[in-house]
Structure 1
């Protein structure tokens, strides 16, 4: 855990705060005074069952028991039954296609904030790599009330944006075969994607694809940390002194370059 905390503090710029209890070693990573994410060692039982390092997204709910019962009715799975933890009452669950996420009530470290999601250090985007995104979207809509961000659904689109309380916060797409299991990918905001990608490489992680420019001028890059957990970065890119051809090792399918993280198809850019 200390190595992971040092890696992400260096890459994203988070401050590290020990939030351990007598029962659990736990580290908070904060943007200024705002808690953003937490780190803990994989439980021994999870390791025995084949769990690997990963980021787990938490969704706040009002009625934990009702949502857990609904997940079962909708074809999902309960991986960890509702239990009290250091961050509130939680349950670890999976959607019908096997993507893991968690539910939480009574958050210990403040309430979810919909404002400021574009600020550096925040989690600015949530992306579901589904087995079949058209079939799994209704699960999240019925369970959590998420809505399609556009009322004009395009049956030819490869990407489905979703919104919460009127704010678009993520998208869903059908994963490529190179992604072995359905999963959620979380994007962390940084000031300079090129510089952050270089820090990923220097910290022992890997950049899986050269940074991609979106039509709105935002850049994204998908990465894996030194322990194997997938994550992504998004933000501006000051390219002074950083050539795109100098990007670290590329190991994921180049087909990813045709899919923008915010649901728009983009053409390959001319190298500068």
Structure 2
């Protein structure tokens, strides 16, 4: 991600919905060095913000509905959440929740693109989103995995004004000329039951060491550390509760 702060239409936050928040706090603290702080207000529902130093970098939450999967979710910044959900439905997507106010922090909605990938919209109030990008332990890239890349490209261009690099090997998303993510076409190697989804990547100092740490903490290495041609060294991991996420070497740009 070349972004250094949230911008309209770009990824601004990522949060984990998990079946065991306390175990997740221990896992990610060990892996990334996060300092989790749980909002004590009852109406906050156990929402926990993870910090690196004083910078907010991600969140962890309990599962709020029985149908909610254990997963990382990616939020994209919107100047006006209500206008954005209108664009979502006009472009063939589905609004799953909201928009709704979150204290004085901002306005929030959950949507799904026409290929089935769920994402979130965030209209900033007092909270803009992540306060650190690309440094070890913080969000560094977001990736859409989908079985219908052309339909996805049209949808996100309509909703957010994104451009997509036409590379057949690995199309990249950009907003305002700034790269922030990529797209993978899900082929027969992906089990049929795995839906389209957004995958956040966190920067780390050492990808191989991160994989080893995750495994020792009862996580799983789904994709072994790999050096991408003309790109960074990456790996895909799964936490003990089943949420998938990626890591990449912080000082490498793909």
- Shorter-chain TM-score tier: 0.7 to 0.9
2:96 aligned partner: 79
Q: Does 1:186 align with 2:203?
A: no
Superposition CA RMSD, Å: 2.0
After TM superposition, the score normalised by the length of structure 2 is: 0.83
> What do the CA deviations read for 1:107-154 (whole angstroms, capped 9, x no partner)?
4434556xx633112211100001111221011011011112x4xx35
2:54 aligned partner: 33
2:119 aligned partner: 101
**Alpha-carbon separation, structure 2, partners of 1:167 and 1:206:** 32
Q: Secondary structure at the match of 2:71?
A: coil
The structure that is strand-richer by fraction is: 2
Q: Does 1:42 align with 2:63?
A: yes
In structure 1, stretches of 5+ residues that fail to align are 238-260, 263-272
* Alignment CA distance shift 1:205-1:135 (3 Å): same
**Alpha-carbon separation, structure 2, partners of 1:225 and 1:57:** 17
* Alignment CA distance shift 1:19-1:147 (3 Å): same
**Correspondence list, 1:1-272, <5 A:** 1-23=21-43, 24-43=45-64, 46-47=65-66, 50-86=67-103, 87-111=105-129, 117-148=133-164, 150=165, 153-154=166-167, 157-177=168-188, 178-179=190-191, 180-216=194-230, 218-235=232-249
Q: Secondary structure at the match of 2:143?
A: strand
**Alpha-carbon separation, structure 2, partners of 1:9 and 1:202:** 13
* Alignment CA distance shift 1:130-1:193 (3 Å): same
Across the two proteins, how many residue pairs are aligned to each other?
228
> What do the CA deviations read for 1:89-119 (whole angstroms, capped 9, x no partner)?
1001000011000001124434556xx6331
* Alignment CA distance shift 1:103-1:193 (3 Å): same
Ranked by relative contact order (alpha carbons within 8 Å, sequence separation 6 or more), the top structure is: 2
Q: Secondary structure at the match of 1:52?
A: coil
Which structure has the bigger radius of gyration? 1
1:243 aligned partner: none
> What do the CA deviations read for 1:60-87 (whole angstroms, capped 9, x no partner)?
1011111111111111011112112254
Q: Secondary structure at the match of 1:196?
A: helix
